[in-house]
Amino acid sequence: MQKEERGLSRKQKLENFNENENGLRDHGIFGLPFSPEESELVLLPLPWEATVSYATGTASGPQAILDASQQIDLYDPLCIDGWRSGIAMLDISSSILQKTREVRNKTEKYLEEYFKGNIDKNLQTEINEVCRVFKEDVKQTTKNLLEEGKFVGIVGGDHSVPLGYMEALSEKHESFGILHIDAHADLREAYEGLTYSHASIFYNALKIKNMSKLVQVGIRDFSKGEQEIVERESGRVVMFTDYEIKKVLFEGSTWSAVCESIVKELPENVYISFDIDGLLPHLSPNTGTPVMGGFTDAQVVYLFEKVIASGKKIIGFDLCEVAPGESGEWDGNVGARILYKLCLLALKSKNHGNNQD
């Protein structure tokens, strides 16, 4: 942020800000001049990938998204003036980056033995404890932001990072559901022996007291054990697989009709959890666990619009698993554009005023 803008109110900054040249100055996320204090929506970057099980790189996701966000034009028919409510990202924590590197080294050592059939119980316990503490830190940070009246969005990082935020939301809302966009179900119990694995995020989320419904969309890579969990939960978990969605589309149904079926399964309060690998692989080529199939960005945004149009309320979101490649900004660019859409939709829902908690 420019020195001369410090101390100005959001109103004053808006008066001085040229929305047609947001990428020309060294501002914050999306080239916006707002601080977290004066913004309605605050993004919490979490460069964490302690438990990734395939390719690494998601810890660099928040920085890649921030860097690419300067290229985004603010005008969007989705919510033309939404950005005026204030969107800001907190600083990317160097201590989290350092900690995830340390833990990642231990995880790689642990997994090397694990795949040989040897489980280092001491190392396993150490990794699980570090991840638990991280989860509690996220919970407290997001709880504080919620108490300040902020709408919070999380920018990962691997998909383990939003669990603490989900727990914080459960203390604010008597009931809420999760709309989960992903290639994977992430319903594995302590995947590879790691309680807080990115592949176990929704197994853990099912333990959250006020989380009443999990609606998974676009799933195309999951285990028999995960399918059995869906069946065992008897309606609390609803999975719309990529196969099932594509089949009804091929047989003549419309994406609008599919979205209506999905929205009907959601409760009034909705948290969006978005793994970038839910999209077509060419949109996120460097994500950690790519799978063929998936959605276009337009399909997913249309689904989110349907959620809002139904009168349901978006109460929070995360965007995870964006991983930049060794060259180019494509993954960060796509991630930034998806993030901007999520922010606009969240602000549109927040200011719609249809629902009371």
65 phi/psi in degrees, rounded to 5: -65, -45
The reply, when asked if residue 275 is annotated as ligand binding, is: yes
CA distances (Å), 47 to each of 61, 188, 226, 316, 320, in order? 7, 22, 27, 19, 10
As beta bridge partners, residue 43 has: 89, 153
The reply, when asked if residue 277 is annotated as ligand binding, is: yes
Both tokens of 192, joined, read 């590879």
Both tokens of 91, joined, read 């600083």
| Token pair 């901007």 in the structure block, residue | 340
Shortest CA distance to 186 belongs to which of 266, 277, 118, 104?
Answer: 277
CA distances (Å), 346 to each of 42, 60, 101, 107, in order? 11, 24, 32, 35
The reply, when asked if residue 184 is annotated as ligand binding, is: yes
- Residue 46: its H or E element: strand 41-46
Shortest CA distance to 100 belongs to which of 140, 66, 69, 57?
Answer: 57
- Show binding-site residues for Mn(2+): 159, 182, 184, 186, 275, 277
Feature table: binding site: 159, 182, 184, 186, 275, 277
